[in-house]
Amino acid sequence: MSYKINVPLEMPPVPNQKSRNASGFGRIFEAATDASTCGCRCRTSKFRQRLTTTTILFCLVMLVFLFMVQTKISPSGGLPIISPMAYRFPADASQLYPEPTGSGQEPPKSGGRRLAGSPTAKRKKKDELTMTTSKKPKLKIPKITTEMKESFKKLQLIIDNRQAIDDIPDKTGLKRWIKKTTSNPTVMDLNNVEFDGNLTSFERFHAAISQDELYAKDSTLVDDLVRDMARLEIVRVVQKEGGTQLKLIIDYDNGGQALFKPMRFPRDKETEPNHFYFVDYERHNAEIATYHLDRLLGFRRAPPVAGRTLNMTSEIYALADQNLAKTFFVSPAKNLCFSGHCSYYCDTSHAICGHPDDLEGSFAAFLPSTDIAPRTSWRHPWRRSYNRRRKAAWEIDPDYCELIKETPPYNKGRRLADLMDMAILDFLTGNMDRHHYESFKLFGNESSPIHLDHGRGFGKTKHDEMSILAPVYQCCMIRQSTLRSLLSFVSQPGGRLSKRMRKSMSNDAVAPVLLDGHLEALDRRVHKILAVVENCLKTKPSTEVIIFDEFL
Ligand SMILES: Nc1ncnc2c1ncn2[C@@H]1O[C@H](COP(=O)(O)OP(=O)(O)OP(=O)(O)O)[C@@H](O)[C@H]1O
Ligand SMILES: [Mn+2]
C-alpha cells in the first residue's frame, strides 16, 4: 500500500545542498531533521514555524495510519467493495478474495501441466482485513408498523390454532401427516442398498436423501459435507455437458463429486437493467446463498453448496481432461483463462479468468447417480416465456391456477404446495429462471421437488420482482410451515432473515457471500410475501389459504 502525501514545502536555499532534490518522504524527513538541528543556522522565525507545522502534520498522518493498521479498519467497513476496475485489473483485487480459512491444507501441487506464460501458482498472503476480525456493519431494519405487528400476530394465531384441523374439509393432508410419521423412505431404502464400513460425507448425504427432504433438520452431516467440498483435494475436472453456462464436475480424492460454477463478476455487479432474465449471467454466490436460504426456510430441498477459491493452474488446468484443457489461454492481462464448450457463453469473450490464477466458485454436492436414483424433469407451470415479446399463459389468464389445480400432479398430494414454496424461495432471491424442476422418480408424486440451479438469483438489490410470486397470489395458498418460518423472521427477537443468513453464511470460505444490499432486500421481501398472504385472507377462508399438509 503506498500513500502519497503532498505536503507543500518551500525549501529555502541552503548552501552545499547535496541531496535536496529528494521528494515525498525524503523531503519531509530532511525538513524535519533540519527543523530539529538548525538552531542558529535558521534565518527567519517564519521558516522555523513552517517546518514545525510540517513535522507535526507528518506525525499526525503517521499516527492515524498506525491506528488504522492496528485496529484493522478497512475503508469499506469490513466488506470488500469491488469496483469494476478492480475486476478488470484483477491483480489489484486479489486481496479481496481470501483463501479458504482454516483449511489446514496446502493447495495440491501442480500435476505437471502448466501453460506457457501463465501466472505462477504463488499463493497470495491471507488478507488481513477479513470479515472475521472487523466489526460487522449494521443492516438497515425495515419499518414494522403497529398495524403490521397486529396482522403478524393474527397469522401466527391461525397457524398455532391446531383446532384448524377440524375445519379442514379435505383430510388428505392429515392422512399424509400420519403416513409421514411412520414412513419417509430414503433413496437407499427403496434401492435396498446398504453401505458398509466408513462412509464419506458424500455417501452419507446420498444415503439419507428422503422423500420429503435432501437432508434432515439439524443435520450435522451436511456441515461435514460442506467442509469437505471446500477442502478436499481435487483429483479430476471435466466439463458438465448441457445447460447454457459453463460448469465443471469436480472429483475429490475420496470419490465425492461436486458441480462447480465459477465466479463471473464481482459481488457488487447488479443485473444490467436492459438484460432479460434469460440472458443474465449466473452468480456463483447466488448458488451458495440460496442453499443457506432454502435451509433457513426449512425446505432442505437444495443440495448443500460451499464456496472455495481454486488455483486454476494446479486445481483445474493440471487436472482437466484434454477437451477442457484445450480451451485454456493466458489473457493480455496475464491472467489464466478458459472458455470451455457450451451453447451460449463459452467463447473467448465470455471466458472465465483467474486473479491472476485464483478462481472463486460454488461447489454443489452432487446428487446420487441416476442409476441409483433416476430423476424426472418437470416443466414448471409458471415458467416464463423466454421470449422478448411473448407472454406466458399464466401472465394472461387470471384463472390460471384453477387450471393447474386440476392438472396432475398438482390436483392432489403435496406438489402444488411445493410450487408455492419454490415461488417464495425464488421471490426472496429474485430468481426468474425456474423453467423446469426435478424430482426423484423413486418416490413418485409424493417426492418433494429438488431445488437446483439458483445462479440467476441475487442480481438486484433494489428491485423486488412481484411476478415471481404469481403462484402464491394466483392460487392464494401457502404451507403452514412456510408461513411459520416467515413469521419467525419478523417476530422473533434477532430473528431477521438478513441476520440469520449472514450468520449462516459467515463460515463459508468465500464469505461475505452476499453484500448488505442483498441481505436487506431479503427482509423487505419477507414483508411483501406476508402482505400477499394477508391480502388472500381478505377474500378466502384461512383453511383454504393455509395448507396444513404437514405438522412440524
Ligand atoms: N447438484 C447436482 N447434482 C447432480 N446434478 C445436478 C446438480 N445440479 C445440477 N445438476 C444437473 O445439471 C443440470 C444443469 O445444471 P444447472 O441447471 O444448474 O445449470 P445451468 O447451466 O444453469 O442450466 P440451464 O442453462 O439449463 O439453466 C441440471 O438440470 C441438473 O440435471
Ligand atoms: Mn441456469
412-468 pLDDT, tens digit each: 889 999 999 999 999 999 999 999 999 999 888 889 999 999 999 999 999 999 999
Give the nearest ligand 1 atom to 364 CA: 1
CA 505 to chain centre: 8
Angle between the 516-539 and 415-429 helix axes, to the nearest 10 degrees? 140
The confidence score (pLDDT) of residue 299 equals 97
The confidence score (pLDDT) of residue 92 equals 27
Of 321, 357, 474, the residue nearest 404 (C-alpha): 474
Check pocket membership of 247 for ligand 1, CB cut-off 6 A.
yes
Q: How far apart are CA 173 and CA 166, in angstroms?
A: 12
User: Which residue is it, cell 399463459?
Assistant: 393
| Beta pairing, strands 449-450 & 436-440 | antiparallel
Check pocket membership of 243 for ligand 1, CB cut-off 6 A.
yes
Q: How far apart are CA 516 and CA 513, in angstroms?
A: 10
The confidence score (pLDDT) of residue 169 equals 63
Q: Whose CA is nearest to atom 24 of ligand 1?
A: 243
The confidence score (pLDDT) of residue 77 equals 29
Residues of the chain with pLDDT under 70: 1-47, 51, 59, 64-114, 116-136, 162-182, 192-197, 550-552
A 10 A CB-CB count for 64 gives 10
DSSP H or E segment with residue 290:
helix 284-296
The confidence score (pLDDT) of residue 530 equals 97
Give the nearest ligand 1 atom to 375 CA: 31
Amino acid at 490: V
Question: Ligand 1 centroid to 224 CA: how many Å?
Answer: 23
For residue 433, indicate whether it is catalytic. Answer: yes
- 245 in a known ligand binding site: yes
User: Ligand 1: which of 429, 433, 453, 454 to mutate, judged by most atoms within 8 Å of the beta carbon?
Assistant: 453
Triad 352, 356, 360: Cα angle to 5°: 55
Looking at the chain, the whole-number percentage of residues with pLDDT higher than 70 is: 72
Q: Whose CA is nearest to atom 27 of ligand 1?
A: 243
Give the nearest ligand 1 atom to 287 CA: 18
The confidence score (pLDDT) of residue 126 equals 40
CA 237 to chain centre: 22
Of 426, 382, 432, 427, the residue nearest 275 (C-alpha): 432
Identified catalytic residue from 212, 433, 523, 549: 433
Per the DSSP assignment, residues forming a β-bridge with 258 are 250, 365
Q: How far apart are CA 382 and CA 476, in angstroms?
A: 14
Q: Any idea where the domains of the chain sit in the sequence?
A: 25-71, 146-547
Query: Cell numbers of 275, please?
Result: 438484460
Check pocket membership of 245 for ligand 1, CB cut-off 6 A.
yes
- 152 in a known ligand binding site: no
User: Which residue is it, cell 472458455?
Assistant: 339
Q: Whose CA is nearest to atom 8 of ligand 1?
A: 452
Side-chain-facing half-sphere of 304: CA atoms under 13 Å: 27
A 10 A CB-CB count for 120 gives 9
Question: Ligand 1 centroid to 243 CA: how many Å?
Answer: 7
